Amino acid sequence: MDFVFGSSYADFDVTLSGLEPGTYYARTYHHDPKTNYGTVGVGVTDADGTRTIVNSTPITYGAENSPADNIATPGNIGTVPMKITVDASGQATINLLPATRYTHLNGLEMTADLPTDLKVDFQVSGSDTQAGYQPYDHPTETNAARPQSHWFFSELGRQGSVRVELKGNDSDMFSPRDRGDVTHAEGDLVEDFFAPSISSTISLGNLKAGQYQVTTYHHDMNVLHSPIDVSVTDTDGSNRSVVTGLAQTTGTAPASPAAVTFTVNTSGILPVEIDFASDSAIIHNSVAVENIGASSEPKKLKVYLVGGQSNGDGRGTASTLSPEWQELRSDVPTYHGGAWQELQPGLTKMSPNLFGPELSFGQAMVEGEEEFIAVIKYANGGTDLANDWRPGDGGSDPGGVDWQAFATAVGDASLAFGEDLAPEFAGMIWMQGESDTGDYAQAQAYEANLTNFITSVRDIVDNPFMPFVIGQILDYSSYTYADTVRQAQSDVADSMSSVSMITTDDLAVIPGNTNHYSNDGLLVLGQRFADALMAISNPLPGDANGDGIVNGEDAATLAANWLRSDGVSRMDGDFNEDGVVNEIDATILAANWQQGSSSGASVPEPGVVTLLLTLMVAAIGCRRRK
């Protein structure tokens, strides 16, 4: 294989030639020992076309044994894995673009053959590696090794690579050791180890979505250490206990070295974190991962968007939340501020000590959900729809600054959805409008602007019917044209398919700050958004307006659209979605009368019965005349 480098020090291409046709898996490395050069973007041009792998990844910096220079020791080396498809030309190109300053490329690894599983032997360089395992090396024995990430080729990884990181205790140190020969079938595996003390974590990143069986070994031939507790943070939840009091083993010829096997589940967006705790050193000989998912089909992922201005961003005080809201929720991966992380307080643009409606919204949406979910949030206080959030035209007009930032966030976040996921943009919640109430022209244009915004969002996520929930702004005296904007929000919800609106006038606000919702108000707001979104996504039969109750309002909608067949939907009373509003839909409404209501009434009121019978008789008469 030959390499040809482009000429620019800022951005350049690396052309690979002389390759046999086929599929290859590669990793590029980007690191500078002394200087922070920011970030780099990486793309590929091959037989599958030109595509972006990552828009921005850090060019790491720092060197071991350089504290006198005040240079950070690298815990990670900037690494970008990728899949490359080569046709008969034998060529492919890696495209490198600096996101900030200069581009760095230290090296490239490439293979056409991937191990089916992932087996990693923690060892000192030069030690024997257990057959079938890949070495996670440290150069020497020491009491002050820094935690570092290593990448390994495997079919279990996206783009053919999995990142394994062993993190030490609070001082971020661990001790690599080679004890010598151990007589056992796994002797090469357990003769050497890394030993953090008190607590440690094995992080598995870049796994494909799915379910895996993980096995770790814990044996020191010279010293018997205290038992360990093991817990897991994955898509099924945070800090799930998998074993308590696992006895570590010792000896030169153990009958059975200590090991623990457990199952993890991941959407592949966040790393799986395996936490270990003990009263003494924790011995890490290895980690092995096997795929136990029966299907190779992409796993479904429901993605929800959160947007708006200050009440969408959130002005709740995170530090005063009760403990159940302080927990990190690994089952709700959330993209905010350019990175995926667990759903948690602090995901606001204004301050890490604030939170918004996403907190209760995300938790409500994941409850009882069998499929993976994820949240993408971009909101910015003080922004208007007329200018800041104005969508672009797809050509020379990129749109307002916050529209651009929002669209970029959606695009960048979506790069984490590999071929192992089948993402569906399943809904958006929108809390905005206050900044459009101070100008008459903006308020008058709000209905048209919001309609265009919803249509544009649906366009960029390729879902023309994505459910959308509007949070109606407060009826606040400082908002000069609040009534106009509030009415516009209501009108858009009434006129657009799969759009609804929630009211917020009853929500608690911050004392002395009556245009921002308080902690309690935001928690109710998020839950209310979730309820409304689920009502659109999973409507009650007969519930035309999506308010969660089948009642006279739905009957009136059905009557107003009786016998229409011009593109009608559920919101027009076509409950069985056969394209016409008729007696079948009236029967559905009657059968579900008062569902969702606390009154428990099981039959329509007399006036509604009369209306439905009249409509049905009219329909029968029309058919007989035909």
Q: pLDDT by residue (tens digit) across 106-119?
A: 889 999 999 999 99
Stretch (H or E) spanning 404: helix 401-414
Rounded Cα distance, 355 and 62, in Å: 34
Q: Residue 539 corresponds to which tokens in the numbers above?
A: 């409507």
Rounded Cα distance, 514 and 519, in Å: 13
Structure-token match 């995300």, residue found:
362
Residues 415 and 485 in one domain: yes
Residue 544 lies in a domain: no
| In 99-178, beta strands by DSSP E | 107-111, 118-124, 134-138, 149-153, 161-167, 175-178
Write the CB contacts of 537 (distance below 8 Å, at least 6 apart in sequence): 426, 427, 467
SS3 618: helix
Amino acid in the structure at residue 368: G
CATH code of the domain in which 185 resides: 2.60.120
Residues 602 and 527 in one domain: no
Residues 173 and 236 in one domain: yes
Residues 39 and 168 in one domain: no
Residues 347 and 431 in one domain: yes
Q: Residue 213 corresponds to which tokens in the numbers above?
A: 């069986």
Write the CB contacts of 111 (distance below 8 Å, at least 6 apart in sequence): 24, 25, 26, 153, 160
Residues 447 and 467 in one domain: yes
Specify the length of the chain in residues. 626
Residue 588 lies in a domain: yes
Burial of 519 (0-12, 13-18, 19+ CB in 10 A): buried
Mean pLDDT in order along the chain per 10 residues (626 residues) = 50 90 95 85 95 89 56 71 96 86 84 96 92 90 78 95 84 80 94 88 95 97 96 94 96 96 96 94 95 81 97 97 95 96 96 97 92 96 98 90 97 93 96 96 98 97 94 89 97 93 96 93 98 88 81 89 87 88 91 75 57 57 49
Residue 545 lies in a domain: no
Q: Residue 83 corresponds to which tokens in the numbers above?
A: 């899949």
Rounded Cα distance, 415 and 52, in Å: 8
Q: Residue 267 corresponds to which tokens in the numbers above?
A: 């959407």
DSSP class per residue in 214-280: EEEE-EESS-PPPPEEEEEEETTEEEEEEEEEEPPEE-SS-SS--EEEEEEEE-SSS-EEEEEEEEE
Residues 105 and 120 in one domain: no
- Residue ending a domain, choose from 255, 274, 294: 294
Torsional class of 498: left (φ above 0), alpha (ψ -120 to 50), beta (otherwise): left
Stretch (H or E) spanning 520: helix 519-537
Rounded Cα distance, 238 and 266, in Å: 12
CATH code of the domain in which 1 resides: 2.60.120.260
| CA–CA–CA angle 178, 181, 185 (5° rounding) | 115
Torsional class of 359: left (φ above 0), alpha (ψ -120 to 50), beta (otherwise): alpha
Q: Residue 194 corresponds to which tokens in the numbers above?
A: 């890394």
Residues 186 and 77 in one domain: no
CATH code of the domain in which 358 resides: 3.40.50.1110
Q: Residue 84 corresponds to which tokens in the numbers above?
A: 């490359």
| CA–CA–CA angle 377, 380, 382 (5° rounding) | 155
- Residue ending a domain, choose from 478, 502, 537: 537
Rounded Cα distance, 249 and 283, in Å: 9
pLDDT, residue 148, reads 78
Q: Hey, which residues does 145 pair with through a beta bridge?
A: 174
Domain count, the chain: 4
pLDDT in tens, 240-293: 999 999 999 999 999 999 999 999 999 999 999 999 999 988 999 999 999 997
Residues 93 and 132 in one domain: no
* Nearest C-alpha neighbor of 156 from the set 194, 107, 207: 207
Residue 513 lies in a domain: yes
* Nearest C-alpha neighbor of 366 from the set 310, 303, 278: 303
Q: 184 with 219: CB under 8 angstroms?
A: no
Residues 531 and 560 in one domain: no
Distance between first and last Cα of the chain: 77
Rounded Cα distance, 489 and 432, in Å: 10
| In 33-77, beta strands by DSSP E | 39-46, 49-58, 60-61
Distances (CA, A) of 565 to 206, 250, 540, 562, 580: 49, 78, 22, 9, 4
Rounded Cα distance, 497 and 495, in Å: 7
pLDDT in tens, 496-525: 989 999 999 999 999 998 899 999 999 999
| CA–CA–CA angle 196, 198, 201 (5° rounding) | 60
Residues 209 and 136 in one domain: yes
- Residue ending a domain, choose from 79, 112, 145: 112
Instruction: Kindly report the pTM of this predicted structure.
Output: 0.85
Residue 543 lies in a domain: no
Residue 49 lies in a domain: yes
Residue 178 lies in a domain: yes
pLDDT, residue 67, reads 44
Residue 204 lies in a domain: yes
Domain interval for residue 134: 114-294
Residues 330 and 463 in one domain: yes
Write the CB contacts of 8 (distance below 8 Å, at least 6 apart in sequence): none
Torsional class of 368: left (φ above 0), alpha (ψ -120 to 50), beta (otherwise): left
Q: 217 with 189: CB under 8 angstroms?
A: yes
Rounded Cα distance, 226 and 111, in Å: 41
